[in-house]
Structure 1
Amino acid sequence: MFALADLVAVGAGGLVGLTLGLIGGGGSILAVPLLIYVVGIASPHVAIGTSAVAVAANALAGVVLHARAKTVKWPCAVVFAAAGVVGAFAGARLGKAIDGELLLALFGLVMIAVGLSMLRSGARDGNPDVRLDLASARALLPSLTGYGFAVGALSGFFGIGGGFLIVPGLINATAMPILNAVGSSLVSVAAFGAATAASYAASGLVDWHVAALVLAGGVAGAFAGTLLARRLAARKAVLVRLFAGVVILVGLYVSARGIAVFV
């Protein structure tokens, strides 16, 4: 029989999967504080490693669903992900060397900055016909690889999927519509999460029982989020602003908890 803590972990996974499927990111940035403050994982490093496993698997489920809906720009997504994996390994190695409470404080500050950025960015219509091919490679490859490496490094450092950065990164690099950026971003979220998870798992910093529970909830959440993303695409800006507010509030809480340790 499931214990209450197990049900909480499944619920946390559902929230992560829902937001990943809905806006291509954000669920992963909530995964670490959810695992620490709701599920009850004591070690920030174990929370980061566990969240990376669950986020990678949940994002992979989202990729399948978005691919079926034909909202993934595959060449752009693969190049961005490949550059980001290199950055993710470097970031994860650095993140494990930093004190856990300091890492949490920095993580909270990043959440606040990202939330404010989401509020400012709004939504764009984009160019649905954009594609990476021989003709467009000279214009698109530098931006895709540059954004990919930078976002991957942040993803590995903080143990997050990075979708909240990948979506605007893909839009800025290619001018694709936000719905395509959401679907395409999940390829990188899965790749970055897998790279970070492998690094933390090698150091014994993954709670596999909790990861499995979060994954179980996340698959259902990803399915619901993908359906909502297609139906509510016209109201995406409202959804992003609402979620940005949640990210900022959680970031304030996490950074305050982390900073309090040093005061």
Structure 2
Amino acid sequence: MEAGTIAAVIASGALIGFVLGLVGGGGSILAVPLLVYIVGLDSPHAAIGTAAVAVALNAAAGLAGHARAGNVKWNCALVFAGAGMLGAAIGAEAGKAMNGQHLLAAFGGLMIVVGGLMLRGRKGGSDPDVHLDRTSARHLLPRLVGYGLGVGLLAGFFGIGGGFLIVPGLIAATAMPIGVAVGTSLVVVTALGATTAGSYALSGYVDWGLVAWLVAGGIAGSVLGRMAGVRLAARKNLLERGFAAVVIAVGAFVAATSL
């Protein structure tokens, strides 16, 4: 691997990590366009597979802190993740079967939708004590399975973590507060990312050398992002809206160039 390519991968990972540390989510959706247009991966499928591995590793790393803080509803997470893994496996097979340029164009369209959702903002639920047991399963289980399956299909198809869909899905299904939903979502992101990555890896669509450098850059970027986030906490809403506008613009560029 050439030095210029390694530098581009590290810089891309650092940007993703910085965004995640600064605004608390959404950065991973930049992974695929960065790998295609900055790093220069020829295959959109390889970009999706490689990004999925990095997404799963980043989510797993972030999960530990939320688990220690008690921000993970494990029963809800495991049901949502189980249904999501089934959806991700199906979605990944469908994505691999699609023409690469058409898949990239669809990914650009997804980015535009995601940016629009980010502009709307996120509101949490009102039930911090929600939990899945025999009593609550009757109404919680169908919702968790339904949302999990739908999100998993999209996550597998596009090779994304899907946190921007998982968090509102968990809130809609259970009415848990947003802080708990974010922590719980990392269990699901890890599971869906691993499922998608495994499917793409079996088809030879993961560049493991790129994964290592991408994660290394992401770790450094996330540290800087968290530091900047502390200083700019009062402007978080403005930062999130600015990032949403960037996602929409990049999505439009990806869709236009692919078509």
Q: How does 1:79-118 map to 2 (within 5 A)?
A: 79-118=79-118
Report the residue type matching 1:141 in the other structure. Answer: L
Correspondence for 2:168: 168
- Cα deviation code 1:238-263 (max 9, x no counterpart): 4543332222111111111111xxxx
Post-superposition shift, 1:108?
0.6
Correspondence for 2:132: 132
Query: What is the number of residues matched between the two proteins?
Result: 259
Q: 1:231 to 1:169 in 2, by over 3 A?
A: farther
Moved more, 213-222 or 165-174: 213-222
**Identity within the alignment, %:** 61
The answer as to 2:151 corresponding to 1:151 is: yes
- Cα deviation code 1:131-173 (max 9, x no counterpart): 2222222221111111101000001111111111111111111
Report the residue type matching 1:83 in the other structure. Answer: A
TM-score (normalised: structure 2): 0.89
Correspondence for 1:42: 42
Post-superposition shift, 1:224?
6.1
Q: 1:147 to 1:249 in 2, by over 3 A?
A: same
TM-score (normalised: structure 1): 0.88
Q: How does 1:13-92 map to 2 (within 5 A)?
A: 13-20=13-20, 25-92=25-92
- Cα deviation code 1:191-219 (max 9, x no counterpart): 11111111111111111110111112223
Q: 1:197 to 1:240 in 2, by over 3 A?
A: same
Report the residue type matching 1:154 in the other structure. Answer: L
Post-superposition shift, 1:185?
1.0
The 8 Å contact of residues 66 and 226 in structure 1, kept in 2 or not, is answered as: no
Correspondence for 1:142: 142
The 8 Å contact of residues 92 and 158 in structure 2, kept in 1 or not, is answered as: yes
Superposition CA RMSD, Å: 2.6
Unaligned runs of 5+ in 1: none
Q: 1:41 to 1:242 in 2, by over 3 A?
A: same
The 8 Å contact of residues 71 and 184 in structure 2, kept in 1 or not, is answered as: yes
The 8 Å contact of residues 65 and 223 in structure 1, kept in 2 or not, is answered as: no
Correspondence for 2:177: 177
Moved more, 196-205 or 2-11: 2-11
Correspondence for 2:10: 10
Q: How does 1:179-218 map to 2 (within 5 A)?
A: 179-218=179-218
Give the Cα–Cα distance (whole angstroms) in 1 for the partners of residues 224 and 126 of structure 2: 25
Q: 1:224 to 1:182 in 2, by over 3 A?
A: farther
Report the residue type matching 2:246 in the other structure. Answer: V
Post-superposition shift, 1:65?
2.3
The 8 Å contact of residues 159 and 193 in structure 1, kept in 2 or not, is answered as: yes
Give the Cα–Cα distance (whole angstroms) in 2 for the partners of residues 193 and 224 of structure 1: 24
Report the residue type matching 1:78 in the other structure. Answer: L
Give the Cα–Cα distance (whole angstroms) in 2 for the partners of residues 197 and 176 of structure 1: 29
* SS of equivalent residue, structure 1 residue 206: coil
Moved more, 73-82 or 238-247: 238-247
Moved more, 62-71 or 22-31: 22-31
Report the residue type matching 2:201 in the other structure. Answer: A
Post-superposition shift, 1:235?
6.9
Report the residue type matching 1:153 in the other structure. Answer: L
Q: 1:96 to 1:149 in 2, by over 3 A?
A: same
